[in-house]
Structure 1
Amino acid sequence: MNPNFAIMMANLEPEEAIFIQSLIKDLDEPQQQQFLAMYQNKRRDTTLILITTIMGFFGFAGIQRFLTDRIGMGILYFFTGGLCLIGTIVDLVNYKSLTLEYNRQVAAEILTTLKLWSNR
């Protein structure tokens, strides 16, 4: 892997970085660079999800669900006060897995898009 890619991947969680490396290993260097640029723009940081989950305790429940493209759950959390704070507490414990799941989904979508572009 190109040293510049290592710099781009430095802010990823270790498990996330391993997943991304396994996804892009079969791509050529320009495709890898394009993938990483697109991924950096669309991924969510665990700190952002943690902060928005904590905001659920202060009346803004569900923001973390909106950020991870779970709109239905976000609306439900918003109108039920984070499912009476129980859902917010569960999300507070599981914020890293919420983020990782979202980021994996985004990576798969980007990879599919790149493969479609390369087949043209």
Structure 2
Amino acid sequence: MKKNINEFAFELRNKYPNTYNDLEDDELVKLWLKKFPGDKSKIIDLEDHLQQVTEPIFDLNDNVLYIPNSITDRLPAMVRNELKKLHPSKQEEFLEEYKRRKKSVFVGYMCWLIFGWQYAYIRKWGVQILYWFTGGGFLIWAFIDLFRIPKLVSNYNKDVSIEVMRNLKSIS
């Protein structure tokens, strides 16, 4: 069933919640059709509204991120700016590697609760050994970490994003 521009944009926003809310309907559909030109057949009024989108050419000057806002909001500004300069396929490579290597706050809490391994989880082995030798800082440090784990994991994930970007740029 063919849809008009607004219906198609609404469908995309429902499919990827909190991702394309900052774009107008026409802009969203243009961006989508650049990435997936085969979806032109799903839209009724394509010729009337989107005459500019005729072929799947990716202009590197577009400075468009093809990564969901829920992820880009957590990345450092430097990484976001570098991602905008990359071809969409390279952005996808970044996203796959970042998702593979990033850590979860929930798992960080589980490591803290069950084993006291929250620093080992984010690969800070020196701090982890000190934590063990002091018995969690006589349990004071352990209590403070209850509130610090989200920030520790967030900082780790930012470092991972920088490293993934560095590796991606050195390969290409």
**Common topology (TM > 0.5):** yes
Structure 2 portions without partners, runs of 5+: 1-64
RMSD in angstroms over aligned alpha carbons?
A: 2.1
Higher relative contact order (Cα pairs below 8 Å, separated by 6+ residues): 1
**Gapped regions of structure 1 (runs ≥ 5):** none
Whole-angstrom CA distance in 2 between matches of 1:100 and 1:25: 22
The secondary structure found in structure 2 opposite 1:94 is helix
1:44 is the counterpart of 2:103:
yes
Q: Distance in 2 between matches of 1:88 and 1:47?
A: 16
Q: Which has the higher helix share?
A: 1
Counterpart Cα distance in 2 of 1:78 and 1:67: 14
Q: Percent identity?
A: 26
Distance in structure 1 (CA, Å) of the matches to 2:136 and 2:73: 28
Question: How far apart are residue 80 of structure 1 and its match?
Answer: 2.1
Letter in 2 for 1:50: Y
Tell me which structure has the larger Cα radius of gyration: 2
Q: How many positions carry a matched residue from both structures?
A: 107
Aligned to 1:95, the other structure's residue is in SS state: helix
Kept in 1, the 8 Å contact 2:103–2:153? The answer is: yes
TM-score (norm: length of structure 1): 0.76
Is structure 2 residue 157 aligned with structure 1 residue 99?
no
2:63 equivalent to 1:16: no
Q: Distance in 2 between matches of 1:71 and 1:18?
A: 24
